[in-house]
Structures are given as C-alpha cells and as structure tokens.
Structure 1
Amino acid sequence: MQETAVNVLHPLKTAALAAMLVLATGWSAVAATPPDQLLVGMNMNNVLTLDPASATGNDVVPVAANLYDYVVELDLHDPTQVRPGIAESWSIADDRRSIVFRIRSGVKFHLGNPLTAEDVAWSLARTLKINRALASPWKAYGFSAANVERSIEATDASTLTIHLPRPTDPRLVLYTLATSIGAVVLDRKTVLAHEHNGDHGAQWLTTHSAGSGAYALARWRPEDVMLLTRFDGYWRGPAKLRAVVLRHIPESQSLRLMIDRNDLDVAMGMSAPDLNALRHDPNVAVETVASGSMYYVALSMSDPKFADRRVREAIRNLIDYDGINRTIMPNYGVFHQRPVQSALPASLPDPGYALNVAAARKLLAEAGFPDGFKTTIRVLADPPFMNIATSLQSTLAQAGIQAEVLSGTGNQVYGAMRNRDFQIVVGRGGGGMEPDPYSNLRALVYNPDNAASAKLTNFQGWRTSFSDPQINRLIERAERERDGAEQIRLYQQVQQRYDADVGPIFPISQMTNTVVLAKDVHGYFVSPAWTTRLRDVYKQR
C-alpha cells in the first residue's frame, strides 16, 4: 500500500522514530509492550480523513481528542458537567444570547505558533464554511457560513465571544464545543499556509494535523498504522507516555490473540464472543460505557405502506426486542426503546414494546394487508446490524411480510436513507455526543421541512419522511425554555407524542462503547462521547 506523506509535528530523534515504526509494523516478536508507549488495536476502516471539519464516525473522535484541544471538556465522571479546556472560564449573558470565553494565554501549537482566540474563532467558522455533517449542530443553533464571522468573534487575543443568532439553550452550545470534532482548535497560520484553491486547507488536513493537543501526529498509513508522539510543550505538561501507536486490526480474533500475547495494551471494536471470554481473564479489564446513539429499525414513510400508521404499529409489534438484546446486543448495546438516551433528567422509562405477532396480524389486516407484503431491509454487512436484520426478517415473516435483506457499506445503506430511497433500514444513529435530550431529538425526530426539495439529509426525521408540526414546536420550545422543570416536561411530552404517532424509527438498544485494557494500563477512562484522552494514561508493572 502506498504510504501517506509523513507529517512530523513534534521533533523526534531519528533512532527513536525508527524504533517505534519497527514496533508498529512488526511487534509480534516483542514479549511485552514498551513501558513508555501505548499500543492500541482497532478497526480504522472508517478513519477516512483527519480533517476536523470533515471527519465522521466515532473511530476518529479519540484521535482528534488527543491531537487537538477543545474549548471546553466534559467531566470524566459526570458528562453533563462542563469543565475548562482551552477556555479557562466563560460567562453567559443574562439574556442568554451570548457567551464570553477567556482563552488561556501561553498555549502553543505543535509547530510553536501561539494559540489565540482568533484561532478558535477561525476554526469554528471553518467548520461552517466547509459545511459538511459536522456543521449541522451549529446550523441548528442558527449559525451559517454567512453570519459566522460576526456571530463568533475574537475581541482580543484572549477573549472569544459567541453571539447566538437565535434564542437557544446556551448549554447546548457548550456541549457541542466539548464533544464535536468540528469544534477543535486548529493552528490557523499552519493550515492557511497549506491552503489550495480556497479549500481552507482541507486537502492538506486530510492526512495531517495542526493542533495543540497532548500528542502530535508523526505518521499515518491508512488502514495500517498511526503513530502519535508526545508533545513536550503541552500546556498541561507532557503526557505520561512517550508515544501512542494505533494499529488497524479489523478482526476480533486477532485482537484477542494479541491481547493474550501482550502485544497490545488496548483493544477496541471486539465482537461479543471474544469480549465475553476476556471478561473472565484476570490479566485484562473490560470497560463498557453507554453512549447516546441508538440501534434502530427505521421505516420510510415515503413508501405508501409505511405512511399508514397501522402498518408502522404492526412493524413495531414484529420486533423481538427482548431476544435481540439478550442474544445479539451484549457488548454492543443495552435495551432501550426511546429516542432520548437514558440517565438524563428528561429520560422516560421504556414503553415496554414486545414481539406480538397476533396484534401485528390484526393491524395489517385492518390496513388491507391480511397476507402481508414484500419489502426490503437495508443493513450494514457487519455485526450486530446483520444479526438484527436477520432476526427482523424472521419475525416479519411470522405475519406474512417477506423481507429481502440487502447488505452493503455505510455509503450504500445510509446513502439510500439520505436519498429517501429505502423501505426498511437497520441502522444506528442519533446525536449522541451531547448529553442533552435535544441532541437525540434533533437527530432522530425533528424535521422542520418535509419537502423533498429541502434535502435536510442530516435530520433522520427528514430521511424517514416523518414530520409532526406539534413535535417540532415542542422541541423548539424546550430548546429555548429557561425553567429546568418545564424544559424536562416538554422533552418528555415529545417522547410521548412520538410514541403515540408511531414514529418510524424504533430504537432497540442504546449503543455501548467497550474497550479491553491490559491490567498494567492505568488512567484510561472510556468517554461516553468517545473523546477518550490519553494524556494521563500510564503503565505500572
């Protein structure tokens, strides 16, 4: 495979770099991992770009969280709480229409440029100007490429002011600043030095980085190996480990074997059988946290059959929620049937949906389909998606619905959703990163314009052709509501109405993130927002 251009942002002695690269490409001969390096095995198929304005998917988030600094961060133990990052303090105006941040002085980027409020403002504006998926939460708050330069401004080198273009909950803006890759702080001067034809440095940033984080990018060979080296000039002090080596290992059994042989310190993305086996291994720890995304079955209301409420309710009765969660989802997700993630003040108990073939048959007969019908299920060709689709295919058949499973890549499955060219999808989605009901409801339920010409492809409500004006108004009211108790009531009312509407996205499980750690790895905290930071990780032998 052709090697990506080397990007050395932190000086290393040639011999040390050579030694780590030998390790990264042939470590199986090593009896134990080096004490000053963290060796991580993971599937990097979806790490397609390192550009913070364009990168998507969860796998790239922990990479960005170590290469870059965020304006603020979520508390490790209580992710609803916001802690200082590059901003050492902030204040919200009484009218809740602006937030003023005090940016730390003395912070340096990897190449030595000072980090200022102007870098922060430029980085956020860049995300909106490039206008990919990561611009979506900002656009939901009223920001746009046209207004961002007057809405987000550096009034001096250490002061950043964000003027909210429309009324919204300022806490949502803080959560997005703490979790979105599109909100990391870039070295403006370095990126602009590599700008090509007005692309805001996008081509260069695909394979390079320009951050101030605890680690710097030394080398990346896509679908092979990524080497991060300690930035000794980090403002919090140097990280405890000298380097982090990320290796592309998509096969779960290979990950398990390498953990067993002490060739890895951390393994991510392992399958349920291997994780279950390792839970009994005294030499490792298996850590699991719930994130905010949902595994779901989604129907397209553009299809006349699924536009009928009775048919949607029949499908809702033909999902074996208990069986799927008991036999398929361990280590992937936990039982959950609401569009809002669990453990938030506005979260409601699950409604208790269960497989009920008799009720489904009755509803289908009332809708004019006593013998069922033919349909298709689009699904990723990976576990647990295929397993869920196979279970669904079987239970649909019990009511006479003949479903053909069409497996494919993410572009094929979610691309069909974005084009409204599907019937049923087994997928995963939701805002998920921000620990607030608005995040999930905006992603899964909200749809302010259902017209095909609107092309609101980042709203899964639009993708499924679902739009309830009352739900939209409730979400908008809750977003602006100042009274905490009333805001909770409004978000709960949205969930109840979505159930009553038989909304076309049926959550099955709330996603979990499971990581396997060697017993001598300490200070590793798995983030529910995937922003796992490695600056305090060390080994004790």
Structure 2
Amino acid sequence: MTFDLTRRGLLGAAAAGAAFGLPATMARAETPADQLVIGFSMNNLLSLDPANATGLDVAEIIANLYDPLVVLDATDPHKVLPGLAERWALTPDGKAWRFTLRKGAKFQSGQPVTAEDIAWSLHRVLKLNLALATVWKSYGYTKDNVEQLIRADDAQTLTLTFAEPGDPQLILYTLATSVSAVALDRKAVLTREKDGDLGAGWLVNNAAGSGAFRLDAWRAKEVLMASRFDDHWRGPAKLRRVIWRHLAESQSLRLMLERGDLDVATGMAPPDIEALKAKPGIALQAVQRGTIYYVAANAKEGPFADKRVRLALRQLIDHEGINKTVMPHYGVLHQRPVQRGLPAVLPNPGYRLDVAAAKKLLAEAGLASGFKTTIRAVAEPPFTHIATALQATLAQAGIEAQIITGTGNLIYGAMRERKFDLVVGRGGGGAEPHPYSSLRSLAYNPDNSDAARLTNFQGWRTGFQSKPLNELIDAALIERNEGKQLKMYQDAQRLYEQEAGAIVPISQMVETVLLRADVKGYQSHPSATTRLHGVSKQRAA
C-alpha cells in the first residue's frame, strides 16, 4: 500500500498506521477530515462472503461493499426504498416480484450490474448451501429449483417467483436486509473459482461488489480498510476512506474516542458509555435492533431435554436483575420470541427469579440434588456478565455450572453441532420487521434430525421441536386476513411458552453508538446495515 506525501496523504497514512497497530504516538490524535475510523470488536467477523457472512458485525461492512435490490429506511424500517432496483411490483397473478433495475449501476470492476448478476448471486447462495442459505430454504427455495424460480428476463429485469405460498412483504424485507441478497460481480468471482467453489475461497477475504466503498485490505482481528468507489450509482461517497479497527476492550474504545483517534465506537461497556455521553464533543445514538439476547438450552439430550427442567431454567434466570445491572445500553427487558415494537408481540409473561419453584420442578424431574452443566458465552460483554449472573442463580438450586468462553465461532459452533448444555447468545430474525422472522429463527424446526443440518434455525440447534407450533407458524405466514394472522402469531407465542421452548429470551438488543460530534449524517440502522455513503465530517476551519 502506498501513500502520497501531501498533508492529506500524511494524515491518511497516520490513520492507517494506527489502524495497523502502530503506536498511538505515531498518529495524530485527530482523524483525517476525509476518513471515518470506526472501532468495534472483530471477534465474530469470520468471512466476507455474502453466502456465509453470519452475525451482526459483518452486516455494516457488507452493506458498504455491496448493494441489494432494495433497502429499508433507517428511520422507518417498515418502509422499503430503492436500491439497485428503481421499481418493483407483484406480477398480476401475485406469485412473483418483478424488479426493474436502474441503468448505469456498475460493479467496482467497471462491469455493468445486470439482472443476470443478481440472479446468479442468489443461485449461488442456495448452491453453496452455507449458513445464509437457511432463510431462502425456509421460503421453499432449493439448489434444484432456484434457477427456474429466480431468473433474469433481460439485463434490467429480474423476476423472483415464490417457491411456495407465503407473505410477499416478508421476502421483500429479506431482500432488503439479508447479507445473502446483495449483488456479486459474477465475472469477477468466477475468475477466482477453484474446484467448483463458486469463488467461496476467495470471497472469504475479498469482495466483488458495487457498493459505495471498495475493499482495500482486511487483516482478521486487526483492521479492515475500504476506499470510496467514485462511480457508485448514488454518486461518490462524501468520505474518501473508511477504516474499521478491531478494539475488543471497552476502555480502549473510550480512550481513543475521547482523544479523537476514533470517530465512531460500538460495543462499549455501560460504565464507559455513561462516562462519555455527557462529555462535550461526543454524541450518542441508541437504536433498537430486532435481535434478542437469550439463554438457550439443549433440548435434544441431557437434563434440559426434560420440559420440567427447561421450566425450572426460566425461573433460575434473574431477568429483572440482569436487565438492571448488565443490560443498560445493550438491551431492554423482553421475554417473547417476537421482537418488540411489532403489533403481534404479546406483553412479557413476567418470568422472574423463583428458586423455590425451580427446585420443585427439578425434584419432579428427579433432579432434586441438582446436576453439573456448562454455560457457553462469547468472551465479551454482555455475554460473559449474563453467564456469570446465571451461574450464581443456578447454584442456588444446586446446579453447578462451568462457564466456557471463546470466540463466536467456538461458542456458536458448538451450538450448531448441538454439542452444548447452555448458551448465552444473541439471535432471532431481527433484521426483518415481521413476526415470522423471529419465530422462524428462534422457534421453528421442521426437521429435528441431525442429518437436516438446519443450522441457521436456532430451534434446530437446540433440538426443540413442536409440530403444532410449526404448523401454526406456517399457517400464519399464508393467512391474508390481517386480524386472523395477528391472532395466529400471538397464539404461536403462547404455545411456545406452554411447551417451554428451549430458548429463553431475556432482553431486546439496543445498539449504542458513540461518535464524535463532528461526524454528520451517520444513522445507525435497526437491521445493522448502516450505510456510510452520506456520512461526512464538519470540522472547524
């Protein structure tokens, strides 16, 4: 990488030097006016491949390297806005969405963005059958039918035919929010294909998109740098470069933001947020996300396979205490598998710490003396703090729990393999403002066999399956009477509670972002797809 020797270039080099781990004394305490430096934890940033890029942390990066057909308004996530598609409509028979692409959109290679590229990108997700295929499989798409159902009519027209009856709006929301739904430069990817992998090996660390920023470099758990794509269809971004820095320690984020080494920081601990939010020159944004913090139990085998033990678990979580002491700036109390803010969500059922009631249930299950178990949690707050609180309350009922911490890949990897006891996690549909999204992710499990490998269904991960619940969720999806559909989604929540679903929601996620006051136009997105095209800095002369 080279830098010019103008003052602007030297400032850029200083920021880049800091980003690559050089001593802070080598860089100015003020970031360059034409660059945005963002601090966050990259512990769960494992792949940049849109077919396999899981988790919230990668969503913002993908949203800036790539473009989808449509996007959701950051201030009103029920409002769908144009992306690569300038307009769309249901076909006359109501069985498909037809998108008309805007003319002039280009990939960063210079190739035009075509409907063929977008259709191929969606085909690729199903053919690779990696983590992000799950949502499309839940709509009935498979590697065998996707080419017939999602097709380019011509260079500017894409038709997405529904694989089975469902809610067309939900598919539109998925196209707007899922990392899997972005357009890949087909020609650029296929030139890097090896052994028929459709470019999967190359795309782990590289990008081939049409987004407002192009990837310059990514060093895992260190730094990711992207520069402005001047030929973006929206016009050039206001900033010349964006640098995402890996900073897992809250105090480091606080210090660097305070002294001006960072422009934006996420993932900061509550005490540091409280210390900074009233300081001059620092602004705060708190945005509710659809994602839910939870405690998940293995209902496939072990003590939590017994419904009575799962009921006891609900009463051995100090819901109120955790939300008061651990979750400020991370989340707010929520105990339903449907995200807050939707008309279908029911009031909280009122789960609370009740050790005596839990002991009674454990005795009925033949576990009056308790048992030994493990709690897995990602090695960062608030997960570790929730795990510690849970360990203490489980002990009050005689359950001896060992806490196992690690990266997201280690913790959620064990969950995906169904080799765990308890997990403190974060999940749910979240990005799509629709009750089916959360229920599908947290409660739905159409095939509980090990061979099914429905790893992005957290119901499958936990081994919890309820046929009546599956049928109710399926029926609600295709119900066209809004009143009846609303009641069905509410009935699904009641049934999940009665059957002691293996995931116990404890808090609805809140993303708290701290930023320097000179950063303008930054709007944290509820679906985590925060776009930086319009962000700028307003510096005093």
| TM-score w.r.t. length of structure 1 | 0.94
Q: Please give the secondary structure, in 1, of the residue aligned with 2:509.
A: strand
2:219 alignment counterpart? 221
1:37 Cα deviation from its structure 2 partner: 1.4
1:23 matches 2:15: yes
| Contact 1:68–1:213, Cα closer than 8 Å, also in 2 | yes
Residue 267 in structure 1 maps to residue 265 in structure 2: yes
Alignment of 1:450-489 (within 5 A): 450-489=448-487
- Partner amino acid, structure 2, of 1:472: N
Q: Secondary structure at the match of 2:132?
A: helix
* Residue 61 (structure 1) shift: 1.1
1:36-67 CA distances to partner (integer Å, 9 max, x unpaired)? 11111222232222221122221111111111
Note closer, same or farther for the CA distance 1:114–1:490 as it changes in structure 2 (3 Å cut): same
The superposition leaves residues 220-244 of structure 1 with CA deviations (integer Å, 9 ceiling, x where unpaired) of: 3333222211111111111111211
Q: 1:310 aligns with which of 304, 308, 311?
A: 308
Q: Which moved more, 1:319-328 or 1:248-257?
A: 248-257
After superposition, what is the alpha-carbon deviation per residue over 1:1-57, rounded to whole angstroms, capped at 9, x for unaligned?
A: xxxxx7x9xxx9797777624421136531422221111122223222222112222
SS in 2 for 1:259: helix
Q: In structure 2, what is the equivalent of residue 154 of structure 1?
A: 152
Q: Which amino acid aligns with 2:432?
A: E
* Contact map agreement 2:131 2:455 (CA 8 A) in 1: no
> Aligned letter for 2:428?
G
Match of 1:401 among 399, 402, 424: 399
Q: Is the contact between residue 96 and residue 167 of structure 1 (CA under 8 Å) also seen in structure 2?
A: no
Residue in 2 that maps onto 1:194? 192
Shift of 1:95: 4.1
Contact in 1 for aligned 2:225/2:243 (Cα 8 Å): yes
Relative distance call for 1:338 and 1:123 in structure 2 (3 A) is same
Indicate whether 1:421 and 2:419 are aligned.
Answer: yes
Please show how residues 479-518 of structure 1 align to structure 2 within 5 Å: 479-518=477-516
SS in 1 for 2:388: helix
Aligned counterparts, 1:356-435, within 5 A: 356-435=354-433
User: Equivalent residue for 1:57?
Assistant: 55
1:149 match: secondary structure: helix
Is 2:120 aligned against 1:114?
no
Task: Find the partner of 1:77 among 66, 75, 78.
Answer: 75
Whole-Å separation in 1 of the counterparts to 2:411 and 2:239: 40
- The alignment-based identity, stated in percent, is 56
Structure 2 counterpart of 1:412, which letter? L
- Counting only pairs closer than 5 Å after superposition, residues 226-375 of structure 1 correspond to structure 2 as 226-375=224-373
Which secondary structure state, in structure 2, belongs to the residue aligned with residue 133 of structure 1?
coil
| Stretches of 4+ aligned residues off by more than 4 angstroms | 12-19
Change (3 A) 1:220 1:509: same
Q: In the alignment, is residue 125 of structure 1 matched against residue 127 of structure 2?
A: no
Q: Which moved more, 1:492-501 or 1:203-212?
A: 203-212
Asked whether the equivalents of residues 44 and 407 of structure 2 are also in contact (C-alpha less than 8 Å), the reply is no
Residue 14 of structure 2 contacts residue 28 of structure 2 at CA under 8 Å; is this kept in 1? no
Q: Is the 8 A contact 1:66 1:213 kept in 2?
A: yes
**AA matched with 2:148:** R
1:403 Cα deviation after fit: 2.0
The amino acid that maps onto 1:20 is G
How far 1:375 sits from its partner (Å)? 2.3
Q: Deviations over 1:80-126 (max 9, x none)?
A: 12111111111113543211001111111112111111111111111
Any conservation in 1 of the 2:73–2:81 contact (CA below 8 Å)? yes
Q: Is the 8 A contact 1:141 1:168 kept in 2?
A: yes
Alpha-carbon shift at residue 359 of structure 1 (Å): 1.4
1:481 deviates by 1.4
Task: Give the Cα–Cα distance (whole angstroms) in 2 for the partners of residues 114 and 233 of structure 1.
Answer: 11
Change (3 A) 1:98 1:406: same
Query: How high is the TM-score relative to the length of structure 2?
Result: 0.94
SS in 1 for 2:293: strand
Letter in 1 for 2:16: A
Q: Residues of 2 paired with 1:67 and 1:409: CA distance?
A: 25
Does the Cα contact within 8 Å between 1:25 and 1:225 map onto a contact in 2? no
Q: Given the alignment of the two structures, is residue 138 of structure 1 paired with residue 136 of structure 2, yes or no?
A: yes
Aligned residues: 532
5+ unaligned residues in a row in structure 1: which ranges? 1-5
Letter in 2 for 1:235: W
Note if contact 1:332-1:513 (Cα within 8 Å) is conserved in structure 2. Answer: yes
Contact 1:24 / 1:247 at 8 angstroms: preserved in 2?
A: no
Contact 1:447 1:462 in 2 (8 A): yes
Q: Which residue of 2 aligns with 1:3?
A: none
Deviation of the 1:412 alpha carbon: 3.0
In structure 1, the residue matched to 2:65 is 67
Is the Cα contact below 8 Å between 1:124 and 1:182 reproduced in 2?
Answer: yes
1:425 aligns to what SS in structure 2?
strand
Distance 1:275 1:189 in 2: 45
Q: What SS is found at the alignment partner of 2:261?
A: coil
Contact 2:37 2:262 in 1 (8 A): yes
Quick one: which amino acid aligns to residue 15 of structure 2? Answer: L
1:98 maps to 2:96: yes
C-alpha contact 1:290 1:510 (8 A) present in aligned 2: yes
Q: Are residues 140 and 35 of structure 1, via their aligned partners in 2, closer, same or farther at CA, if it must alter by over 3 Å?
A: same
- In structure 2, relative to structure 1, the CA distance for the partners of 1:483 and 1:278 (3 Å cut) is same
SS at match of 1:166: coil
Distance 2:169 2:86 in 1: 17
Structure 2 contact 11–28 (Cα < 8 Å) conserved: no
Q: Deviations over 1:505-535 (max 9, x none)?
A: 1111112211111011111000111100011
Decide whether the 8 Å contact of 1:96 with 1:169 is kept in 2. Answer: no
For the residues of structure 2 that align with 1:425 and 1:285, how far apart are their CA atoms? Answer: 34
Residue 342 and residue 218 in structure 1: after superposition, are their counterparts in 2 closer, same or farther (change >3 A)? same
Q: Distance in 2 between matches of 1:489 and 1:532?
A: 33
Q: Which moved more, 1:210-219 or 1:436-445?
A: 210-219
Q: Give the counterpart of 1:529 among 527, 530, 541.
A: 527
Cα distance change of structure 1 residues 247 and 440 upon mapping to structure 2, 3 Å threshold: same
Matched letter for residue 267 of structure 1: A
Offset, 1:493? 0.7
